[in-house]
Structure 1
Amino acid sequence: MPSEPRPRHILVTGSTRGIGRAVAAAFVAAGDTVTVHGRSPDSAERCRAELGAADAIAADVADPEALATALAAAAERCGPIDVLVNNAGGAETAPLSRTDVDQLRRMMALNLEPMLVAMRAVVPAMKERGHGRIVTVASTAGLKGYAYVGAYCAAKHAAVGLTRALAAELAATGITVNAVCPGYTDTDLVSGSIDKLQEKTGRDRESLLETFTRTNPMGRLIRPDEVAAAVLWLASAGASAVTGQAIAVAGGEL
């Protein structure tokens, strides 16, 4: 008798908090086999236990060898990766006068290079099976410019460009490659940014929050679960003809 099809194996980078955690939790709730990822073994294992995920890996995504090794270990333990969600990333702020080549390289190493490493790790097995989904959590900063985050915007624009290029290259293989581009989202990263601005400027928290929400016509931060819903759709059978897209989840900002 033919064996029962195995649950999909989903791997989400940067899944210990924020959007990545919401994405991982949504896939767990959908019944998929989920591998979570964190920078440290402790944070990754804690996330796995809290979400009820199948496995956890730890690696600094800015270390290509460590990331590739961790991805290989996940595939060995839980089977080939069917859906890769490139979520890990981060931002630095600075005016042009303080934006140097080192900052640009840090932003590329954190937001762009791990995408390439992870894609190269999972695509061969996806090609063999004739099916796969790759979704990158980029940003509206990959679709427009924001003042004082030039290096971050450059890296996210590059992430969208890589998504579109690989979507075209892999279109005939059964692998789709897409990006979701959230606007300012209600995560600890945004909260931390407000804390820093409050300390630096002395302004009250409510007025500082307004600087983050005023670009959104809905007048609020995006919820992590709203981003997760877009990722789940792109990973679904219903999105099999959708590839090379950068979908803004931003309340009408774009």
Structure 2
Amino acid sequence: MQERTGFNDKVALVVGGSSGMGNATVRLLAAEGCRTHVLDITPTADAAFQSCDVQEYDQVRRCVQNIVAQEGRIDLLFVAAGVHLFADIEGTSIEEFERVLSINLKGPFYVLKEVLPIMREQRYGNVVLMGSDQVFVGKGSSAVYGMSKAAVGQLTKSTAIDYAPYNVRVNCICPGTIDTPMLTPSIERFHQMSGMDIEQIHEVLRTAQPIQRLGTPEEIGKAVLFLLSDDCRFMTGALLSVDGGYTSQ
């Protein structure tokens, strides 16, 4: 397999790399020759692992410092950690509100706060943040989740501008509905709220995309690899849709 430009022997950090789209990306990076590190609350054997709750800034700082002490640098960063919540405002508890924002918004901010100075100093870095199709469009019963992802889109743009002078690129991957473990509890919650049959919900989700199926974690991982690679040196501040055509409708 031909190696993609700029991966061999790079140091990569994937936050939320133990499952789903993050884990698919971890495995693809390792196959490309990256020395890959994972921060997550669930262990994985696919890369060097440290337990880290992204809601806790001190944990993020300690883990990043450990990687730099070991490797001397961080070249690539994918912040994949996130949670979904299917609820409107009245159906969202204060605890759920705070948890979604802590993981989906504070988490990326904390990681960037620690990693960007390293990339600025080394005058090189490629960053990908985890957005959503809800960076572009609204969906019902998705008030807090949609708010958090729209904010990540804006964080991407602003940070890309700030760090372009240091040869640090920052882009955002915006998946549609992807067949990951995170999808299951959302489907179950919708089933309980609506009474709709589980298989019927799956069918609605599948046919919502012009491609007529859900995406796979590996398809998102390959798009993330493109954004992390040196094949797209002129891309920064981009919000890249990988959604089966959903936001084109």
TM-score by structure 2 length?
0.90
Secondary structure (helix, strand or coil) at the match of 2:50 reads: strand
The match for 1:14 is: 16
Unaligned runs of 5+ in 2: 1-6
Cα deviation for residue 205 of structure 1 reads: 2.9
Q: Does 1:246 align with 2:239?
A: yes
C-alpha distance in structure 1 between counterparts of 2:50 and 2:72, whole Å: 14
The match for 1:82 is: 75
The one-letter amino acid paired with 1:168 is: I
Cα deviation for residue 203 of structure 1 reads: 3.8
Moved more, 70-79 or 152-161: 70-79
Seq. identity, %: 28
C-alpha distance in structure 1 between counterparts of 2:144 and 2:184, whole Å: 21
Cα deviation for residue 105 of structure 1 reads: 3.0
Instruction: Indicate the RMSD between aligned Cα atoms, in angstroms.
Output: 1.9
Ranked by relative contact order (alpha carbons within 8 Å, sequence separation 6 or more), the top structure is 2
Q: Does 1:91 align with 2:91?
A: no
Deviations 1:114-173 (A, max 9, x none): 111111211122112211011012111222111111011001000110000000111111
- Aligned residue-pair number: 241
Q: Is the 8 A contact 2:156 2:170 kept in 1?
A: yes
C-alpha distance in structure 2 between counterparts of 1:101 and 1:202, whole Å: 25
Q: Is the 8 A contact 1:57 1:74 kept in 2?
A: no
Q: Is the 8 A contact 2:85 2:142 kept in 1?
A: yes
Q: Does 1:67 align with 2:69?
A: no
The match for 2:199 is: 206
Moved more, 173-182 or 191-200: 191-200
The one-letter amino acid paired with 1:222 is: G
TM-score by structure 1 length?
0.89
C-alpha distance in structure 2 between counterparts of 1:101 and 1:191, whole Å: 23
Cα deviation for residue 79 of structure 1 reads: 2.9
Moved more, 86-95 or 159-168: 86-95
Distance 1:246 1:121, change over 3 A: same
